[in-house]
Structure 1
Amino acid sequence: MATVAELQEKLRRPLAAELAAGCTDRVVAGGVEKLLASPLGNPFPKVREALAGYAGLDPAAREAALTQALELLSGRTRAAPARAAVRKAPPPAEPGTRLAVDAPVDRLDAGPGGARKLQSLGLHQLRDVLHAYPHRHEDRRALPDLSEVEEGQKVTVEGRVVSKHRRTPRPGMLILEVVLETPSGGRVKATWFNQPWVEKQLREGARLVLTGRAKKFGRSVQLGVEHLETVEAAQESLSTGRIVGVYDSKEGISQEFLRRAAYRALQAAPLDDYLPAHWRRQYEVTDLGDALWGIHFPADETHLSRADKRLRFDEYLFLELRMLLQGEDAVLQGKRFEARGEDIHRFEQALPFRFTNAQRRVLLEITDDMRSDRQMARLVQGDVGSGKTAVAACALYLAVRDGYQGALMAPTEILARQHFTNLVNYLGPLDVRVGLLIGAMTPKAKLEMQTRIAQGEVDVVVGTQALIQENVQFDHLGLAVVDEEHRFGVQQRRKLLQSRPDVLVMSATPIPRSLALTAYGDLELSIIDELPPGRTPIETKLIQDTHRTQAYGFVMRQIREGRQAFVVTSLIEESDTLELLAATQLADDLRVILPEARIDLLHGKMSAAEKDHVMERFRAREFDVLVSTTVIEVGVDVPNATVMVIENAERFGLAQLHQLRGRVGRGSAQSYCVLIAGEHTQKTRKRLKIIEGSTDGFVIAEADLKLRGPGELRGTRQSGIPDLRLADLANDAEIIERARELAKHILAHDPKLEHPRLQYLRSELQSRSQSVAFREVI
């Protein structure tokens, strides 16, 4: 049985989340009052009293009530603030009355129980109704001719009932049928199953407008009716005779109700525009009123397209503004480097290879930033082997030449050691002192390295999170390079950046430009989209699981030639225990299939040190086959591994498959990737054929985005991308870049949005933000 302290914590967490989300009563399923009415609230009568009538309070009163409730739960008490009495909902405004966009939906004339229905969908203010866009649109303009209708197509027809039939083929089943004659003289049969209430509208001679899916029987058309109206009603209808929006809803709340609510909201709201006319002209977007009417009730396809473009632009604009303001780094003064051309030339001359054109282009973008007064905040994306580390090493060299220190932070110790080795090779011949600081070092070695860093005796430090511990003091940090930044928390990154060095972020995870611009909204983007010459592409083969034996026969041949192999398994559901069982079972199976091979295991229940130890042994060739779940680290080099076998490949996204494939091909020998598919559908084969046919990570990432959507591709929670209602990240790169351009222009001229002309934009930005903490930024 739970203790009082445990119950307090269980109740505290959702209440704290509600406060952090801006007191919207949306965080807790069913609302705060429903939570307190559950058994969880019973032991805390004072908390229930503090939050009584929560749904009816305004935001300020909700915040005060939540604060008091959380203090009661934490055991701190104070004199209860004077609270406004729980107010009854104000009466709906008279038709034609203008309402503020933040007016509660109680004020909207939405019919009996209308406000309660809207609130149950999370629509609490007029603005919520305005921006609850339809998730799709149906063309319900009546078709004059049905001869071109396709099987299964949803159509709307208008006509006169010429005959009616009622059938009960068996007890409990009622079929109503009418034949409708259209204005062109064509006839269509319409049917209703078990809907006796429509019968009174189906009299002969009645003029009806019907919407449904068409079924073709030779030259005749039959309609399974989904929506019916009389012609007289349709002339005033929001649900037929036009392009009609279809909204997210739930049982008991009809589409007709939601359309009427949207219509009333559009009539009542002052649709003033927060974008001045000159920006609308510059970015070729319509005004806000036209866009909101067009998304809910478009006059035609052109109006809908115009509305969609403006509202998508707004979604990205507010996202970019929010990320740039939250990032803070965007407006900081940074270091100003000379970044001399002769130093770049000297660095390249010391390399055993020449930079590719893509590396040169990205290095030019980096040096432009370094020469500026503003703090560099740039993301360098590049596929495995594209040469990101060499570019970062050159930037670190430029910082050192100007008398600064550099730091490179990696997410794991094995990657930190790998970067340390590479930087010693790149920078050692140029008399740059490179140091390593990781958790596995002895206390004495750590202290010695920390002392050398503080005294400026180390030029470039490579490390893990050990670099952001409080006892690490840099003498003069000028440039921080962060590898695989999404593996670190925002606060961790900022701790490294307290002395305002320039920041270079590296990622070997190719994601589409559109997604990168939103996921890393506070960073400029550079892409190394070219591989060095002479790299042998990895050969990829897709096979069915019925041919597994042949696949492992090939693995054994590679082992006999002195090579090594990865074998990766996947799960349908995430669970450390199931992951361990699956990996262990596969390793046992392979010991039977490959009796000559030395096999070891890597899985998610291991500690970081255990994983590092296994990988070091694999790199040292102490065994032949590494069976692993997806915990294989991005960027780890095992040059002797030439085969990657991925079991149940259909359970992975394309981008993840490409990342796994990149674990091989790190040496000079030809390497291979075998995708074993346990599912044999045409759709699965088509998707996996993309990987088999391409080694370009960006092409694959674009395909993955179109197939799976941004949430599944990176995880919206991890990447910071909120729900974008209209946005289409797979195709919106251009509109994102234009919105980003305007956001940067606005903040460059007015970092706090204080100009009177921007007050409405500022207000809209605050209203769209769910976070109380964010509101404090501006």
Structure 2
Amino acid sequence: MATVQELQERLRRPLAAELAGGCQNRVVAGGVEKLLASPLAGPFPKVREALAGYGTLDPAARAEALTAALCLLSADPRATPAARTPRAAARTAPPPAKDGERLPLDAEVTRLDSGPGGARKLSTLGLHTVRDVLHAYPHRHEDRRALPDLSEVEEGQKVTVEGRVVSKHRRAPRPGMQILEVVLETPSGGRVKATWFNQPWVEKQLREGARLVLTGRVKKFGRSVQLGVEHLETVDGAQDSLSTGRIVGVYDSKEGISQEFLRKAAFRALQAAPLDDYLPAHWRRQYGVTDLSDALWGIHFPADEAQLSRASHRLRFDEYLFLELRMLLQGEDAVLQGKRFEARGDDIHTFEAALPFRFTNAQRRVLLEITDDMRSDRQMARLVQGDVGSGKTAVAACALYLAVRDAYQGALMAPTEILARQHYANLCGYLGGLDVRVGLLIGAMTPKAKMEMQTRIAEGDVDVVVGTQALIQENVQWSNLGLAVVDEEHRFGVGQRRKLLASRPDVLVMSATPIPRSLALTAYGDLELSIIDELPPGRTPIETKLIQDTHRQQAYGFVMKQIREGRQAFVVTALIEENENLELLAATQLAGDLRVILPEARIDLLHGKMSAAEKDEVMERFRRHEFDVLVSTTVIEVGVDVPNATVMVIENAERFGLAQLHQLRGRVGRGSAQSYCVLIAGEHSKKTRQRLKIIEGSTDGFVIAEADLKLRGPGELRGTRQSGIPDLRLADLANDTAIIEQARELAKHILAHDPRLEHPRLQYLRAELQNRSQSVAYREVI
């Protein structure tokens, strides 16, 4: 039973994270009010009272309420409401810093003297401390050192110009339309007409004589030039040097908060803050990064392109370094004592000799990396990536065999029962002739069969157990678990995985989803990475064809031809919005259409409203060839083998990412017959065709994943929101592989020599890590 003090601290941390994160009501799943309704807040009625109606408050009111609640929690939790009320808890803001006064990084933004209402404006952007302002980097930069001569720019070109307002005029050519026109005189003496459509609120900034910086698209009418304004800045003498005549940062903002205001706040923060570097000089030299002061000044107010480049490189390096440190510390498995296996070469040869094929060079390389880990005293934590059919399971089976040879047990956990059965059949084939006892433990087994298997596991009467989450139930006791293999790990929660790892076995994670190396190193920062990048010889590549939806009839004519030859087909469609009711309707309608188009075919359906058991049963019936065409709007289970299925038709292919299309295509080609993938595009734009042509022209999952990353960004790999990967503000995962590897190398070096970051020279590094990890750590408390 937790003490009141423990509950108090567990409640305080997420509320502090909510305040630090800008009062967005997102730190806790379901919002702050969901947290207050939980048993955790039960002993603290005054806190619930202080935060009543939190979701309806504006950010400033939320900040005040949170401050009051945190004051209550920092006092005696049983204090009476009369002794400490939310109103009494509100505190007076500290005074602005004096000229030349240094401010700590955690000083409130009220101390920056950012003008009337300045602190409130910064707070609405989630900037509450000096540190927040320093790390709110511009999202782009404009070169305003030499603004263009408008007589030389082309029609439609986007430009930025500076000048003084000479005259202004408002007109309404028709009801409902208002046009503001301003004539601007540029420093070179030229004139440009600037226009705003239906934006009367900007008129107060357009007084004659005012200096403006305008960004917009050029329109030319003979010799006169007109600018359709997209962005306006007013410039006064005090801010000349921040907004003109230099490379200027442009910040994320909201209506009513100007760029000039944000630049002024950043400038004051840089002047006032102690920019002590948390990276010692010898590490900066080793990895070729500039010092922190140069980087922060360079990202906000670069003197030239070289400083901006140095700044971007250093701050990206830092983002990856702290991400890797946190991932390694979160996982902790990577630095724990593990099992030590002999992993003899003779045993590897014995295993391979029993296979009906030989390992590829890529499989041998990965197996060497795995056995090096197994022979070490430290716990193995390794991710094996490989495209569909690359032979990951055979490598995992060999590792399990080595563990069994050293008198340990092995486990293989799969996300679904159908996949668990498939792995069980494969492992029986690989290990059955090598005197290895393989067992299966899944939810669908009878209570008696489960109990018998659990008894065999506890008594060490079974060597390798394949299963689903049934493997991590409380009544499963291992005799001597040495190696745990987790298939498609991203589909398990962190808590589920750790239950299996309670006895500290070596851990091997398998994924058939090709991930660019840069993304794998961040999403799986707590795991070493091995890639099987070679397919076994003799595999027939899947033929892929991209067609427009106007040729659907031909595509299904081809499907019918394959069915008549005794083959089967998948048909998958996508929706623009995730909606289970619409999904069921779309799937049902598509199946109905196909029954008309393919009257001879037996057709069945897989949809999102089915339970996991129902989906497994449909897939099992399909595998037994009880019907010919499986229609689905959900992603077909990764790894499921239906060797007789030779055609994958993907409707509205443009709505899927390239990596997802490649995964769907991998559902066919599992047997010896030639297989095909037909992409039907409902959108015919040139951009769409260029993107889908990448899939049509390549079967290499890693090439496709790299292209997908560049086109779509990192997305939500490994459930990044759930695993605590923060937004990387400056990172460019498509091009940062080398920086990520350097940052990971340094993170591993630091933790190998000082696992708790306790050395005095690392005090700033430790503090920075705690600041960057704060909101993530608080999320995990709940």
What is the TM-score when the length of structure 2 is the normalising length?
0.89
Task: Tell me the distance in 2 between the aligned counterparts of 1:50 and 1:198.
Answer: 40
| Match of residue 522 from structure 2 | 518
8 A contact 1:485–1:506 mirrored in 2: yes
Gaps of 5+ in 1: 1-11, 72-76
Task: Tell me the distance in 2 between the aligned counterparts of 1:745 and 1:224.
Answer: 54
Q: CA offsets, 1:605-641, max 9 Å, x none?
A: 1122211111111111111011112242100000000
Task: Tell me the distance in 1 between the aligned counterparts of 2:522 and 2:109.
Answer: 32
State the identity %: 81
1:652-667 alignment, distance < 5 Å: 652-667=656-671
Task: Tell me the distance in 1 between the aligned counterparts of 2:112 and 2:636.
Answer: 55
8 A contact 2:50–2:69 mirrored in 1: no
Q: CA offsets, 1:129-178, max 9 Å, x none?
A: 111111111112223655653444443456789x8685747477555454
Task: Tell me the distance in 2 between the aligned counterparts of 1:22 and 1:327.
Answer: 24
Q: CA offsets, 1:674-718, max 9 Å, x none?
A: 111111111111111111111111111111111111125665324
Task: Tell me the distance in 2 between the aligned counterparts of 1:709 and 1:621.
Answer: 39
State whether structure 2 residue 208 is matched by structure 1 residue 201: yes
Kindly tell me: are residues 20 and 177 of structure 1, through their superposed partners in 2, closer, same or farther at Cα, counting changes over 3 Å?
A: closer
Structure 1 residue 576, shift from structure 2 partner: 1.8
Residue 400 of structure 1: SS of its match in structure 2? Answer: helix
Task: Tell me the distance in 2 between the aligned counterparts of 1:68 and 1:666.
Answer: 64
Task: Tell me the distance in 2 between the aligned counterparts of 1:432 and 1:228.
Answer: 74
Q: CA offsets, 1:468-507, max 9 Å, x none?
A: 1111111111110000000111111111111111000000
Task: Tell me the distance in 1 between the aligned counterparts of 2:422 and 2:32.
Answer: 51
Aligned residue identity for 1:249: S
Structure 1 residue 324, shift from structure 2 partner: 0.8
Residue 665 of structure 1: SS of its match in structure 2? Answer: coil
- Of 65, 68, 80, the match for 2:72: 65
| Match of residue 21 from structure 1 | 17
Residue 277 of structure 2: SS of its match in structure 1? Answer: coil
| Match of residue 5 from structure 2 | none
Gaps of 5+ in 2: 1-7, 38-43, 53-60
8 A contact 2:23–2:63 mirrored in 1: no
Kindly tell me: are residues 146 and 176 of structure 1, through their superposed partners in 2, closer, same or farther at Cα, counting changes over 3 Å?
A: closer
- Of 165, 186, 191, the match for 2:194: 191
| Match of residue 429 from structure 1 | 433
Kindly tell me: are residues 16 and 682 of structure 1, through their superposed partners in 2, closer, same or farther at Cα, counting changes over 3 Å?
A: farther
Residue 645 of structure 1: SS of its match in structure 2? Answer: strand
Q: CA offsets, 1:504-525, max 9 Å, x none?
A: 0000011111111111111000
- Of 292, 307, 310, the match for 2:311: 307
Kindly tell me: are residues 248 and 54 of structure 1, through their superposed partners in 2, closer, same or farther at Cα, counting changes over 3 Å?
A: closer
Structure 1 residue 721, shift from structure 2 partner: 2.3
Kindly tell me: are residues 287 and 665 of structure 1, through their superposed partners in 2, closer, same or farther at Cα, counting changes over 3 Å?
A: same
Residue 274 of structure 1: SS of its match in structure 2? Answer: coil
Task: Tell me the distance in 1 between the aligned counterparts of 2:279 and 2:570.
Answer: 54
1:203-352 alignment, distance < 5 Å: 211-216=215-220, 221-224=225-228, 226-227=231-232, 233=237, 236-352=240-356
Residue 391 of structure 1: SS of its match in structure 2? Answer: helix
Aligned residue identity for 2:322: F
Task: Tell me the distance in 1 between the aligned counterparts of 2:191 and 2:560.
Answer: 66
Task: Tell me the distance in 2 between the aligned counterparts of 1:279 and 1:775.
Answer: 32
Structure 1 residue 214, shift from structure 2 partner: 3.1
1:507-656 alignment, distance < 5 Å: 507-656=511-660
| Match of residue 360 from structure 2 | 356
Aligned residue identity for 1:55: A
| Match of residue 6 from structure 1 | none
Q: CA offsets, 1:408-455, max 9 Å, x none?
A: 110111101100111111111111111111111111111111111111
| Match of residue 483 from structure 1 | 487
8 A contact 1:568–1:645 mirrored in 2: yes
Structure 1 residue 47, shift from structure 2 partner: 4.7
Task: Tell me the distance in 2 between the aligned counterparts of 1:745 and 1:218.
Answer: 65
Task: Tell me the distance in 2 between the aligned counterparts of 1:610 and 1:228.
Answer: 60
Q: Which moved more, 1:367-376 or 1:718-727?
A: 718-727
Aligned residue identity for 2:334: A
- Of 101, 105, 119, the match for 1:101: 105
Task: Tell me the distance in 1 between the aligned counterparts of 2:253 and 2:400.
Answer: 54
8 A contact 2:182–2:206 mirrored in 1: no
8 A contact 1:376–1:504 mirrored in 2: yes
Task: Tell me the distance in 1 between the aligned counterparts of 2:778 and 2:212.
Answer: 53
8 A contact 1:139–1:155 mirrored in 2: no
8 A contact 2:144–2:246 mirrored in 1: yes
Task: Tell me the distance in 1 between the aligned counterparts of 2:405 and 2:162.
Answer: 79
Task: Tell me the distance in 2 between the aligned counterparts of 1:467 and 1:686.
Answer: 45
8 A contact 1:234–1:241 mirrored in 2: no
8 A contact 2:22–2:124 mirrored in 1: no
Structure 1 residue 773, shift from structure 2 partner: 4.4
Task: Tell me the distance in 2 between the aligned counterparts of 1:119 and 1:423.
Answer: 57
State whether structure 2 residue 760 is matched by structure 1 residue 756: yes
| Match of residue 379 from structure 2 | 375
Aligned residue identity for 1:674: V
Kindly tell me: are residues 450 and 199 of structure 1, through their superposed partners in 2, closer, same or farther at Cα, counting changes over 3 Å?
A: closer
| Match of residue 3 from structure 1 | none
Q: CA offsets, 1:16-62, max 9 Å, x none?
A: 99438365363544999x988xxx9xxx9955654598735897x74
Q: CA offsets, 1:205-255, max 9 Å, x none?
A: x9986654333457765444544667x838734112111111111111111
Task: Tell me the distance in 2 between the aligned counterparts of 1:756 and 1:57.
Answer: 37
The count of corresponding residues between Structure 1 and Structure 2 is: 747
1:120-159 alignment, distance < 5 Å: 120-143=124-147, 145-146=149-150, 149-157=153-161
Residue 242 of structure 2: SS of its match in structure 1? Answer: coil
What is the TM-score when the length of structure 1 is the normalising length?
0.89
| Match of residue 56 from structure 2 | none
Kindly tell me: are residues 28 and 82 of structure 1, through their superposed partners in 2, closer, same or farther at Cα, counting changes over 3 Å?
A: farther
Aligned residue identity for 1:19: L
1:675-686 alignment, distance < 5 Å: 675-686=679-690
State whether structure 2 residue 721 is matched by structure 1 residue 717: yes
Task: Tell me the distance in 2 between the aligned counterparts of 1:521 and 1:438.
Answer: 30
| Match of residue 732 from structure 2 | 728
| Match of residue 74 from structure 1 | none
Aligned residue identity for 1:346: T
Structure 1 residue 85, shift from structure 2 partner: 3.6
Q: Which moved more, 1:365-374 or 1:566-575?
A: 566-575
8 A contact 1:135–1:247 mirrored in 2: yes
8 A contact 1:141–1:156 mirrored in 2: no
State whether structure 2 residue 59 is matched by structure 1 residue 55: no
Structure 1 residue 535, shift from structure 2 partner: 0.5
Kindly tell me: are residues 68 and 508 of structure 1, through their superposed partners in 2, closer, same or farther at Cα, counting changes over 3 Å?
A: farther
Task: Tell me the distance in 1 between the aligned counterparts of 2:357 and 2:303.
Answer: 61
Structure 1 residue 63, shift from structure 2 partner: 3.9
Task: Tell me the distance in 2 between the aligned counterparts of 1:773 and 1:178.
Answer: 54
State whether structure 2 residue 401 is matched by structure 1 residue 397: yes
Residue 675 of structure 1: SS of its match in structure 2? Answer: strand
Q: Which moved more, 1:47-56 or 1:732-741?
A: 47-56
Task: Tell me the distance in 2 between the aligned counterparts of 1:720 and 1:239.
Answer: 36
